[in-house]
Structure 1
Amino acid sequence: MSLLLTAPGVSAHNATKPQHKSQIVLEDQGSFTVGGGVVTNPGKFDPIKLTPDGQTIHGDFAYVQYQIPRNPRRYPLVMWHGGGQMAKTWETTPDGRDGFQNIFIRRGFSTYILDQPNRGRAGRALQGTTLAPVPGPGPTGEQGIFVRFRIGIWPNYFPGVQFSHDPAALLQWWQQQTPSTGPADNEVASDAIAALFKKIGPAVLLSHSAGGYPGFRTAEKTPNVRGIVSYEPVGWTFPEGGAPAPIPTAAGDITGQTVPLSDFLALTKIPVLLVYGDYIPDPQKPSVYPGIDIWRGRLMMARLFVKAINDHGGKAQLLHLPEIGIHGNTHFTMSDLNNETIADLLSKWLKKNRLDKYGDRRDLH
């Protein structure tokens, strides 16, 4: 089956800006759920009384949407969002441009974008939680995440920030936030995505923010993860006995989590790239804003994570964009105004690691 998708002629958020895009031709597209578990009430189901007895609830699964172009490259890209997010992270940007989903379909990659368990379209949780439509303390309100995700110090944008100043774009970005319908559980999440890799075969994992740690755990659970590119991960695995000392920040200590050495060594068998954006304080110059200073500690811990992988014989790299002359990026590098430039860096990394080849997938298992 071939599908011909013609890109819209104008931006969804600014009809005065025509967009001249090539057509996207797909061989197939679809969606499925994967992983998860089931809760079964005791007793026997009665189709007349319809009591809870004997009834089941399936939950803690991931929702996956895929698009496969004609003559795709061998390794698909699996795209995993961060905390408070869903697959929208990788779709159309808040200001109406192509996100990574479309960019890499145009570049010949099959894409699998997912909503992790208990988020977005995978909202059926097996454990309850409390949801309230009010801003909580700290960074959980919209002005708080404006600061914590390094767009600026509300209501002011950082000078040169790669985020549209159009209020409609900010509204779109705020409205892509989504709550978790169950307690955060990295093992539940990584189990589901490991099941995804088992289903689709070898692929490259792109992760973002809070998707970083369970993404690393996924690679430790399945050999089908052939490479990881993690955009600003906020959690890292270290081998037991090898976790660095906590790094103090104005928002609290930054720590690494430990896993058995045998698990950690899986990360030394594949190429790993971490990418961090701009407006992160110098290690020796803490910020008075806790939502900004936390990134100082996170970047420091990320460097130690990369070192740990390489000290065990791996091939990991950290790319801090300002250090290579790319400035203005927020926590959402994949959807910033310069996301084509960020995508070019990914394409070069995939090529360097021979993960962008064309060919038959049947011999990859």
Structure 2
Amino acid sequence: MNRLLLAGLALGLLGSTALAQTSAPAQAPKKEPIALRDMGSFHIGGRTVEVTGKPVREVVFAAGGTPAKMDPNGPYLVEQMYVQYFLPQNRKGKYPLLMWHGGGLTGVTYETTPDGRDGWLNMFVRKGWDVYNSDAVERGRSGYPSPDIWPSSPIFLAKGNAFERFRIGQGPGSWSPDPAKLKVLPGNQFPVEAYDNFVRQNVPRWLDSDKPIVAAYTELVQKVCPCVILFHSQAGGFAFRIAQEHPDKVKALVAIEPAVPGDPAKAAALKDVPILMVFGDYIKDDSRWPKMRAKDVAFGDAVKAAGGSVDVVDLPEVGIKGNSHMLMMDKNNGRIADLVQDWLVKKGLVE
């Protein structure tokens, strides 16, 4: 593909502020355009399921349209996963960087922040990484099966749930529909003024879909790796498991507040896979995160006892304060991206 064409497409898709000079000749771009050697997307994974015994019904597919007979019986392809990739012209990362999001979210986690700044997708492409960003099975452009195939029901979160649970507000009761009554944690770095934009990203999630999610992520790893996996929250349960099952495919793990650790009984599988764990602020004052962090650290200790390398970074202890659970969206997300990049450089994963 033509390099100039790709650079132009990247500006639109990645949210760059550097627009064509002809449209705003008086405004200098804030940053260099992102030049790509390629970009694209694909779906991966899934299985075919046969539905039988359902009645044929008449539907109107569009308002005012002609009714049509719909037979719901037959084969369905379900549990596929959507992946989008951006490959910089000046590649510096030695391996692809896979970004996996947390529960109730999609790959938008790593794109533009709720208040319109660069997300980690942009930042790491600029740092020279081939980035593969995905919507896990059941989320976003991956979609989910009908109740005939997944009989369980998804859960939906009220508007204030993330505010109170993701260490943005001061716990239960801290969210209010009145912005003046929001109880934000002191010094919090989350862009609270754009909280509604974050809520708009939330999607329903199932509590029993781990198996198809792991299957699709595993197929992705088999397709594009060896690689580095950067993952957040719920995805800890997927990334650690897949890395333990396929350690030859994973060159490093960057765990951003993993909600689920790996299997300590299989810790030795990761003795040659360096791990970075990053935790934000206010953890000691939270009702759940002290226990979750303790489990993560205990798993890391098991990996170290088996001869592996695990670095645990509590951001306040290195002078980076105020981070919520969504630290890739926080106002200091660039500092944290630089910290991750420095670690990757020290591990010899950057040209």
* TM-score range for the pair, normalised by the shorter chain length: 0.7 to 0.9
Q: Secondary structure at the match of 2:141?
A: coil
Matched, 1:79 2:103: no
Report the identity percentage.
37
Residue ranges of structure 1 left out of the alignment (5+ in a row) = 11-17, 134-139, 241-260, 282-286, 358-365
In structure 2, the residue matched to 1:67 is 86
The answer to whether the 8 A contact 2:231-2:239 is kept is yes
Pick from 117, 125, 133 the counterpart of residue 137 of structure 2: 117
Matched, 1:275 2:278: yes
Give the TM-score taking structure 2 as reference length.
0.82
The CA distance in 1 between the partners of 2:101 and 2:209, in whole Å, is 15
Q: Secondary structure at the match of 2:277?
A: strand
Matched, 1:306 2:300: yes
Superposed displacement of residue 183, structure 1: 4.3
CA gap of 1:329–1:230, structure 2 versus 1, over 3 A, is same
In structure 2, the residue matched to 1:325 is 319
Q: Secondary structure at the match of 2:228?
A: strand
The answer to whether the 8 A contact 1:65-1:114 is kept is yes
Q: After the TM superposition, which of the residue ranges 19-28 and 1-10 deviates more from structure 2?
A: 1-10
Aligned-CA RMSD value: 2.3
The answer to whether the 8 A contact 1:213-1:237 is kept is yes
Residue ranges of structure 2 left out of the alignment (5+ in a row) = 20-27, 54-67, 175-181
In structure 1, the residue matched to 2:43 is 33
Matched, 1:152 2:169: yes
In structure 2, the residue matched to 1:296 is 290
Matched, 1:209 2:212: no
Superposed displacement of residue 42, structure 1: 5.9
The answer to whether the 8 A contact 2:18-2:33 is kept is no
Alignment coverage as a number of residue pairs: 307
The CA distance in 1 between the partners of 2:275 and 2:298, in whole Å, is 14
The CA distance in 1 between the partners of 2:307 and 2:97, in whole Å, is 25
Q: Secondary structure at the match of 2:41?
A: strand
Give the TM-score taking structure 1 as reference length.
0.79
The CA distance in 2 between the partners of 1:84 and 1:162, in whole Å, is 21
For 1:90, the aligned partner's letter is Y
Pick from 199, 207, 211 the counterpart of residue 223 of structure 2: 199
Deviations 1:29-84 (A, max 9, x none): 111111121202469xxxx986445x211111211000111132321110000011
Superposed displacement of residue 185, structure 1: 3.0
Q: Secondary structure at the match of 1:171?
A: helix
The CA distance in 1 between the partners of 2:243 and 2:330, in whole Å, is 27
Task: Describe how 1:1-365 pairs up with structure 2 within 5 A.
Answer: 1=1, 2=3, 3-5=6-8, 6=11, 7-8=16-17, 20-41=30-51, 51-53=71-73, 55-73=74-92, 74-125=94-145, 126-131=149-154, 140-153=157-170, 154=174, 155-166=182-193, 169-180=194-205, 182-222=206-246, 223-240=248-265, 261=266, 264-281=267-284, 287=285, 292-357=286-351
For 2:164, the aligned partner's letter is V
In structure 2, the residue matched to 1:14 is none
